[in-house]
Amino acid sequence: MLTISSVGRRFPDGTVALRDASLRLESGDFIALLGPSGCGKSTLLRLISGLDRPDAGRLDWDGGRAPAAGEIGFVFQDATLLPWATAEDNVFLPLRLRGVSRQNAATDVRSALARVGLAGFEQSRPRQLSGGMRMRVSIARALVTRPRLLLMDEPFAALDEFTRHRLQQDLIALWQSIGCTIVFVTHSIYEAAFLARRVVLMTPRPGRIACEIASTLVPGPETRLEPGYAALVADITHAMGQALEHA
Ligand code: ADP
Ligand code: MG
């Protein structure tokens, strides 16, 4: 889908957020970008989204063109919902901004909310919903334009562990049913190990890609109890130690 070659990003104040980062994104992938705070994960995600441009290197999209706005969905750590608007209206927003009428959007909005388990909560406002439910609305809003690529920047970092596990499990089911490509930023080894097909490990600033660890786990309710999961966590932890040592 996308080849990222030797990409660098230096901000005007001299901060080098990324240096020589290369990565290939396959269609249907689930990649976790894992690294410590400040290593350039969000910067790399913004480069992929087209919100920011690299100073060095290049991004080559298969087919020669970057996805259009609606083909990329973005989910942030904060749900960033309009507080006065209902769940339905929050999910409708990206379609409204593109000129789709409320009537024409109605089916897509309802099905996006149903996909994230919020059927029946269409008329609820953010303050009436739990943190996990607000994040579900945020994911529905990202899905409503049917993106090919879903970029998620530490979406579950602010949730309690019980809610986080539930959302991780549901995200896998969602990914399997809609078949989009996901790049998921996290600083949690456990989260990366549970979710991703490929864990891409980044070094501390200036961020480089240290290595990649492939997973063959099929995430399910029992996965976290299995020896294969513990082994993967150990592999990633070991690689993390080496990346820190050589940084
Ligand atoms: P991460 O998401 O891994 O925590 P970021 O990609 O947000 O890291 O940031 C990488 C580094 O670049 C950090 O040191 C951050 O302070 C710095 N940075 C991010 N955006 C800017 C900016 N617009 N101007 C200057 N420095 C920035
Ligand atoms: Mg970040």
Q: What is the mean pLDDT of residues 15-37?
A: 94
Rounded-to-integer distance, Cα 150 and Cα 144, Å:
11
Q: What is the pLDDT of residue 247?
A: 66
* C-alpha span between 34 and 160 (Å, rounded): 20
pLDDT band for position 172 (cuts 50, 70, 90) = very high
Q: Whose alpha carbon is nearest atom 5 of ligand 1?
A: 40
Probe target for ligand 1 pocket from 7, 37, 42, with the most ligand atoms within 8 Å of CB: 42
Q: Does the pLDDT at position 233 exceed 90?
A: yes
DSSP character at residue 169: H
Mean pLDDT of 40-59: 94
Q: Cα–Cα distance between 86 and 134 in angstroms, integer?
A: 11
Give residue 40 CA to ligand 1 midpoint distance, Å.
6
- 74, 142 contact by CB (below 8 A): yes
pTM of the model: 0.95
Q: What is the pLDDT of residue 53?
A: 94
Q: Is the pLDDT of residue 81 over 70?
A: yes
Instruction: Please tell me the residue having the least CA distance from ligand 1 atom 14.
Output: 38
